[in-house]
Amino acid sequence: MKKVFKNACVTGAGNGIGRSIAISLNKNGYNVVCADIDLKALNETLKQMSNKKCLKIKIKCNVSILKDIDKMIAKTVKEFGSLDIMVNNAGVTKSLSLFDLDEKHWEWMNNINAKGTFFCLQKSAKQMIRQGHGGRIINMSSVGAKGFVDVSNTIYAATKGSILSMTKTASQELGKYNINVNSICPSPTYTDIVKKLVAKRAKEQKKSEKEIMDYYMRDVPLGRFNDPHDIASMVIFLSSLGARNITGQSFNVDGGLIPS
C-alpha cells in the first residue's frame, strides 16, 4: 500500500501565497503547521482554515534562524506524528534599482530566501529520511529567476535563482529516499506585496495603478495576474499521488509569460 502524505508544514503562511497554500492544504484534507514570524497574521490564516476534520497549528519561525527551523520541524512531528510535505514559501523583497541595493539588502534577502529555503529543505529531508516513507519538498522560486524583466530587484532574482539550483541538486541526492523536490516559479501574484509594488511604481512614474498593472501584463498571453490560489493549486498537485514521479522540476505559474 502506497503511503498517503497528510502532514504538511508551510513557511510564510501568515499572508499572501503562503496563507492561500495553507488554506488549500487544509481544504484538501491535510494537517497543516503554519509558520511565520507574524503570529497575529497566523491567527487570521488559521481562522480561514475551515476543514475541522484536519489538524492545524501555528508556530513563530524566522527561517534565517536554524534553531527556529528545528523547533518548527520538531513541533510538526510532535503534533502530527510525521512531516510529509514541506512547503518552503517564506521570502522577502523590495522594489529597488541595481544601484540602490546595498550589503544590508543582500544579507536580508539571502538570509531569508536562500539560506532559509536551503536549511528548511535540508532539515525537513533529514526528518523524512528518518521516517522512512519519503516525502515532498516544494520550494518557492520566481519567474524573476528566469529573466523576468520587471523583477523587483537583482538580488531577489539571484536568491530565487539559487532556489532553482538547490532544487535540482537536492532532487538528485534525495531521490533514493523517495523524496520529491520541486520548485514553483510564480509571475506577479496579486498579494499585498505586489499591491504595494504597483502603488510605488505608479507614484514614481506618475501613472495610474491600472496603467502599471496593464504594463506588467503586456506580454502575458492569458492577460491576468496570478491569484494566490493559482499557486496553491500547484502545491496541491505536487503534494498528490499524481505527482509521485515528478522531481527536480521548476514549474512556471505565469499565464504563459516565460516560455520555459
147-170 per-position pLDDT tens digit? 998 899 999 999 999 999 999 999
Residue 195's pLDDT is: 84
Residue that has been written with the C-alpha cell 532574482 in this structure: 157
Residue 5's pLDDT band (boundaries 50, 70, 90)?
confident
Residue that has been written with the C-alpha cell 503534494 in this structure: 239
Evaluate the CA torsion angle 153, 155, 159, 162 in order and state its sign: positive
Average pLDDT over residues 31-45: 98
Supply the residues annotated as catalytic. Answer: 156
Question: In whole angstroms, what is the distance from residue 127 CA to residue 140 CA?
Answer: 20
Using the predicted structure, report yes or no on whether residue 1 has a pLDDT greater than 50. Answer: no
Asked if 22 contacts 13 with a C-beta cutoff of 8 angstroms, the reply is yes
Residue 127's pLDDT band (boundaries 50, 70, 90)?
very high
pLDDT digits (tens, 9 = 90+) for 64-92: 999 999 999 999 999 999 999 999 999 99
Three-state secondary structure string covering 135-157: EEEEEECCHHHHCCCCCCCHHHH
Q: Which CATH class is domain 7-189+227-253?
A: alpha beta
Q: What pTM value is reported for the model? A: 0.94
Residue 2's pLDDT is: 54
Using the predicted structure, report yes or no on whether residue 123 has a pLDDT greater than 60. Answer: yes
Domain with CATH 3.40.50.720 in the chain: 7-189+227-253
